Amino acid sequence: MNMTRRTFIAAATAVASFSLLAPVQAAEPIKIGLVAALSGQSALSGEAITRGLTIAIDEINASGGLLGGRKLELVRRDDESNPAKGVVAARELIFREKVTVLFGGLDTPVSLAIVPLANQEKVPFMGAWAAGTPITKNGAEPNFVFRVSAVDEIVNQAMLDYAQKTFNGSKFGMILVNNPWGESNEKGLRAALQEKGLAPVGVEKFEGNDVDVVPQLSRLKAAGADTLFMVGNVGPSAQVVKSLDRMGWKVPIVSHWGPAGGRFTELAGPSAKDVHFVQTYSFFGKQSAVGEKVIKAMMTRYPDVKGPENITPAVGVANAYDGMQLAARAIAKAGSTDGDAVRKAFYDIDEHVGLIKTYRKPFAPGVHDAVTKDDYVWARFIDNRILPVSLGE
């Protein structure tokens, strides 16, 4: 390259002014990592978590940042719902980006793969979606994994409570997708039933690709089931509902949050609204002050958000928002970005007015899940909106 004198001077001036400016800029940012599905089938979940984190980070930065004016900075990596890719991404964020807290996404297998790394490298890992019980109950001591989301084990207890309370159910049938997620929920539901001295009248599995679930459902009907527990992603769940329709069997369905992951009403037809499923938050209905604030911030920051119906999936946004706020509190209390100090500081959070609830001592040694049974919101699809059941039609 031929460097003329003029370009040399221009470049030199630029470098000089840059180095002059640098000290004026704020101190080194505190990096917050996110490893989630940003592409593929679950891309929407990664986007929701990103938005929740961004709103929280904007808020914290606007009020002066943490640790004496250091701003938070979000660094995202795509795991493509693949555990191996998730671990590679987490490594990069921990070793190269040196993130202070790492957030996880929707897929339980990905989170489970990252857990050992987080514990080994002493980097707090905050689950914002994946509900697998062993993510937080991972047996490590000390345990660097925290979560603001639903937990399979607790969801299963809540499903039973809800079915008893809302539908007066006493004979429970399970219709579960035939994969590890279905398996772990079978275990959890059986345990929840056993705790109350009950047993399921039938447990049926179906394949995610099954066209017809009538045979399985007929067996549950023949066994006398009066309420069904359903666990499956949106497509398989829709197949269950369509098969029920075809049989003409009107039976209450209490479901894990699978249906919330897609166009359930389109896939399952008019009976979609009869499925009651668990959520951690809904932006519909009367909102707390924090709820109002988050909706407003979302509408300002993202032009495509016109109201609660566009803040979707709500659980991703809400969990990530509260998770980030709690993590910020922990960093502030720790007074440093040291992983172990931040981990211990999570235990010191006394009260935090969050979106999902007001957290009171949300974490303690042995308690790494901030959201508990009573915090769940029961919802259903009315058209394409996930509305709390309490709102009626």
Residues making contact with other proteins (CB under 8 A): 40-41, 178, 204-207, 209-212, 214-216, 218-219, 222, 234-235, 238-239, 242, 245-248, 262-263, 266-267, 269
Instruction: Indicate the Cα dihedral angle 299, 300, 301, 305, nearest 10°.
Output: 20
- DSSP state at residue 364: B
Least separation in angstroms between CB 203 and other proteins:
9
Beta bridge partners of 100: none
Cα Rg of the chain, angstroms: 23
Paired tokens of 229: 């527990």
- Which of 246/306 has CB closer to other proteins? 246
Q: Is 104 helix (H, G, I), strand (E, B) or coil?
A: strand
- Which of 129/206 has CB closer to other proteins? 206
- Which of 166/178 has CB closer to other proteins? 178
DSSP string over 110-166:
HHHHHHHHHHHHT--EEESS---HHHH----SS--EEE-S--HHHHHHHHHHHHHHH
Exposure letters 310-334 (e unless 16+ CB within 10 A, then b): ebbbbbbbbbbbbbbbbbbbbbebb
- Which of 368/380 has CB closer to other proteins? 380
- Which of 40/285 has CB closer to other proteins? 40
Least separation in angstroms between CB 200 and other proteins:
14
- Residue of 378, 173, 136, 167 lying closest to 259 (CA atoms): 378
Q: Provide the 10 A C-beta neighbour count for residue 287.
A: 15
Paired tokens of 352: 């935090």
CA distance 233 to 181: 10
- Which of 105/323 has CB closer to other proteins? 105
Q: Cis bond leading into 313, ω under 30°?
A: yes
- Which of 268/326 has CB closer to other proteins? 268
Q: Quick one: how many helices (H) and strands (E) in the chain?
A: 13, 14
Least separation in angstroms between CB 122 and other proteins:
36
Least separation in angstroms between CB 281 and other proteins:
22
CA distance 46 to 291: 21
Exposure letters 7-21 (e unless 16+ CB within 10 A, then b): eeeeeeeeeeeeeee
- Which of 266/348 has CB closer to other proteins? 266
Least separation in angstroms between CB 308 and other proteins:
21
Least separation in angstroms between CB 247 and other proteins:
5
Least separation in angstroms between CB 206 and other proteins:
6
Least separation in angstroms between CB 388 and other proteins:
24
CA distance 65 to 290: 19
- Which of 110/345 has CB closer to other proteins? 110
Least separation in angstroms between CB 44 and other proteins:
8
- DSSP state at residue 373: G
- Which of 60/253 has CB closer to other proteins? 253
Least separation in angstroms between CB 277 and other proteins:
17
Q: How many CA atoms lie within 13 A of 222 on its CB side?
A: 8
